[in-house]
Amino acid sequence: MRSMRRIPPGPGQESVWDYPRPPRVEPTSRRVRVLFGGVMIADTRRALRVLETSHPPTYYIPPEDVRMEYLTPTVRQSFCEFKGMAGYYTVQVGEKRAENAAWFYARPSPGYEALAGYIAFYPSRMDACYVDDEPVVAQEGDFYGGWITSDIVGPFKGGPGTWGW
């Protein structure tokens, strides 16, 4: 089993172990971008961050700042005990396709209404994701879709041996 010893944050860093449970939604003015198939699928300074204990932030982007012509709804759904029922999109540019690579909450649970319609992307399934100009590292395990940047420290839940945390 992997160690879950909290890494002390340095100057300008956040520890995911200081994030709350249940998760908190907060706006960010940082530039958030998603690149796929040579197209900038999303570009915003109006994203929302979802912060939850042991997880890197997940960024939700307003649909007005997403190239929706590259997203197709799928039949997949999943349930989050906090945010409610999620729907999914396949992202496709030309012949390049990523099934169920983005998700959204059409009618989020009480307390998470701000997320309604906003879209989150799995960074591991995109060509690149950026926060400001920093390339994002995908949260291991591809279940939660967290975005790891140099200003976030863990350890992070998601990889083998971390599910019991």
**Long-range contacts made by residues 25-33, C-beta under 8 angstroms, separation at least 24?**
25/49, 25/50, 25/51, 25/60, 25/112, 25/114, 25/115, 26/51, 28/59, 30/131, 30/132, 31/130, 31/131, 31/132, 31/133, 32/59, 32/61, 32/129, 32/130, 32/131, 33/129, 33/130
Q: CA 54, CA 48: separation in Å to the nearest integer?
A: 18
Residue ranges for the chain with pLDDT beneath 50? 1
CB 11 within 8 A of CB 19: no
pLDDT value at residue 2: 55
Q: What pLDDT, on the 0 to 100 scale, is given for residue 144?
A: 82
Please report the pLDDT score of residue 6 as a whole number.
87
Please write the tens of the pLDDT for every residue from 28-48. Answer: 999 999 999 999 999 999 999
Which positions ≥6 away from 104 have C-beta within 8 Å?
Answer: 60, 86, 87, 88, 89, 115, 117, 118, 119, 120
Determine the distance from the C-alpha atom of residue 104 to the mean position of all C-alpha atoms in its chain, rounded to a whole number.
Answer: 10
Burial class (CB within 10 angstroms; exposed 0-12, middle 13-18, buried 19+) of 104:
buried
Q: Mean pLDDT for the chain? A: 94
pLDDT score, position 165? 67
